[in-house]
Every structure is written in C-alpha cells, then in structure tokens.
C-alpha cells in the first residue's frame, strides 16, 4: 500500500506544477502586445521620361465632375496635379466631360455633340450609376457601355492601352442611403456589382484596364471622411484614394 500512496502523491505534485506552468504560459501570451497588421503596398512604378505634352480626357458623371467637392478636389484634377509633380517637365492638359445625373446615353450625346480630336494620351471612363439609380433596364447599359468604351478608345488615338475604366461606387454605404431598408440596400449593391462585372468583362475583351475603386466607397459609413458634405458623393479624401489606386497604371501608360 505504501508504494502506491507514494506514487499517487508524486502524480498529484507533478500535475500541480504542470498546471501552474500552463497558466503562466497562458498569462504571458495574453499580455503580449498586439501586432499591427500592415497591409501590403504596391511597389511604385519607376519614373522614366515621358512626352513633353500629355492630353488627358476624363469622361463620366457626378463621380468625375466631383459633385459637392472643389474643382481641384475631384479625382481627374488630383491625378493631373500628381502627374505634374512627378513629371515637372511635361505640360498636362485636362478636359472633363461629365455632369451630375448623366447616364451612359447622356454622356454619349455630349461627346457626339462636340468636335473632339482623337489625340488623347489618356482617357478615363466612370459611368453607369445613374442608369441603375434611374431604374433603367440593364439591357440599356449592356448596349451603351460598349459603345462608350469604343468611343473612348477612338479618342485615345485608337489605342486601347491608353484607356482606364473605373468601377461604379456603391452609394449604399453613405448617409444618403440610411433610410433604405436592408432589402433595398442589398438590391442596390447587387445591381451595382452586376454593372461592374459586365463592364470589367467587356474591358477584358478589349484589353482595357478596369480598376475597381468600389471597395473604397464601401468604407463610407465607418469612415465618414470618405463622404462629401452632401452625404452621398465621394470626398476629396476618397478621390485621393482613387488616384492612389490608378497612379501606377497611368504612369505605365504614359511611359510606354
């Protein structure tokens, strides 16, 4: 009996120390400082000389004209400013064809009414939200977006590599849409996603760059600084993030 009692005592003592050691390890691990997750950054495209003059055409709607922000705050102007800083020996001209409320048809009508030279080194296109907002049949966008993209390519010296299409922002994530119920919000986001998916797929067939900025606008409710004073459109800060995302592709276009 005695040897058995001794073994039992040794066993309990061992279990006690193991338990203490485990608790100490857990306590130490919970007191470790949190590690900050640093998002990966896209390597900057090296800067090489470009042409002495660059003509830039920005096509779109309120997201291009910069509704509710200053003229120099909208993304085409911010892009021009950034490029001027990067390429101080180059002269940049910017023409904006955009208006709040424009659909694909409105934009095409305005382009066709002007005598535009097909000499643009860079063309950006962001269009479609008003087709969705005005409850137009999706077939209208499917017909007119390709026509607009082909027109943009023609204006970009016929070079598809000189064109960038930006995705449609999601206005569900703004104070403007707070009055919508969850079913309506889900419907709007799904429709905008459908528009963007179609545009991206068509851009792929034309070998045109499609750059999504929608995720930036989907931070509008948790980061109010991304929304303009009207509670609907992107702010100067949001447009800066647009430019951050398209700057390297634009540099590659201009340096090609």
pLDDT band for position 4 (cuts 50, 70, 90): low
Mean pLDDT of the chain: 88
For residue 122, the surrounding DSSP H or E stretch is: strand 122-126
pLDDT value, residue 130: 98
Lowest-pLDDT choice from 18-32, 68-82, 215-229: 18-32
Please count the helices (runs of H) and the strands (runs of E) in the chain: 9, 5
203 Cβ contact list (under 8 Å, min separation 6): 149, 165, 209, 210
Q: What is the pLDDT of residues 155-207, one digit of tens each?
A: 999 999 999 999 999 999 999 999 999 999 999 999 999 999 999 999 999 99
Residue 166 φ/ψ region, left for φ over 0, alpha for ψ in the -120 to 50 degree band, beta for the rest = beta
Q: In this structure, what DSSP letter does residue 53 have? A: E
Q: Are 164 and 155 in contact (CB under 8 A)?
A: no
Give the mean model confidence (pLDDT) for residues 225-248.
98
Tokens of 16: 């006690």
Q: Are 98 and 135 in contact (CB under 8 A)?
A: no
Tokens of 255: 């340096």
Q: Which of 111, 137, 21 is nearest to 58 (CA)?
A: 111
Q: In this structure, what DSSP letter does residue 129 have? A: H
pLDDT value, residue 43: 63
pTM of the model: 0.83
> CB 59: neighbour CB atoms within 10 A?
27
What Rg do the C-alpha atoms of the chain give, in angstroms? 27
Q: What is the pLDDT of residues 16-71, one digit of tens each?
A: 444 444 444 333 333 333 333 334 445 677 788 899 999 999 999 999 999 999 99
Lowest-pLDDT choice from 21-25, 146-150, 224-228: 21-25
Q: Are 103 and 70 in contact (CB under 8 A)?
A: no
Torsion of the alpha carbons at 151, 251, 43 and 214, rounded to the nearest 10: -30
Name the pairing type of β-strands 91-98 and 53-60.
parallel
Alpha helices by DSSP H, listed for the chain, are: 2-30, 62-65, 75-86, 104-112, 129-133, 138-155, 182-206, 214-217, 236-255
């Amino acid at each position: 009996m005695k040897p058995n009692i001794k073994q039992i005592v040794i066993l309990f003592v061992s279990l006690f120390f193991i338990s203490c050691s485990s608790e100490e390890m857990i306590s130490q691990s919970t007191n470790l400082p949190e590690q900050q997750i640093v998002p990966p950054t896209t390597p900057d495209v090296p800067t090489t000389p470009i042409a002495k003059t660059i003509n830039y055409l920005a096509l779109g709607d309120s997201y291009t004209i910069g509704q509710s922000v200053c003229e120099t705050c909208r993304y085409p102007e911010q892009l021009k400013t950034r490029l001027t800083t990067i390429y101080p020996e180059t002269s940049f001209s910017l023409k904006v064809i955009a208006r709040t409320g424009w659909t694909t048809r409105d934009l095409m009508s305005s382009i066709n009414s002007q005598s535009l030279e097909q000499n643009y080194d860079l063309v950006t296109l962001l269009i479609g939200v008003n087709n969705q907002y005005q409850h137009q049949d999706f077939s209208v966008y499917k017909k007119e977006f390709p026509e607009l993209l082909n027109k943009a390519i023609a204006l970009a010296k016929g070079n598809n590599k000189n064109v960038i299409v930006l995705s449609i922002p999601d206005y569900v994530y703004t104070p403007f849409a707070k009055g919508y119920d969850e079913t309506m919000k889900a419907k709007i986001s799904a429709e905008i996603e459908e528009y963007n998916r179609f545009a991206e797929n068509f851009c792929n067939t034309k070998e045109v760059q499609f750059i999504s900025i929608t995720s930036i606008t989907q931070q509008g409710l948790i980061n109010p600084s991304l929304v303009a004073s009207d509670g609907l459109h992107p702010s100067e800060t949001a447009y800066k993030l647009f430019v951050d995302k398209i700057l390297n592709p634009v540099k590659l276009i201009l340096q090609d």
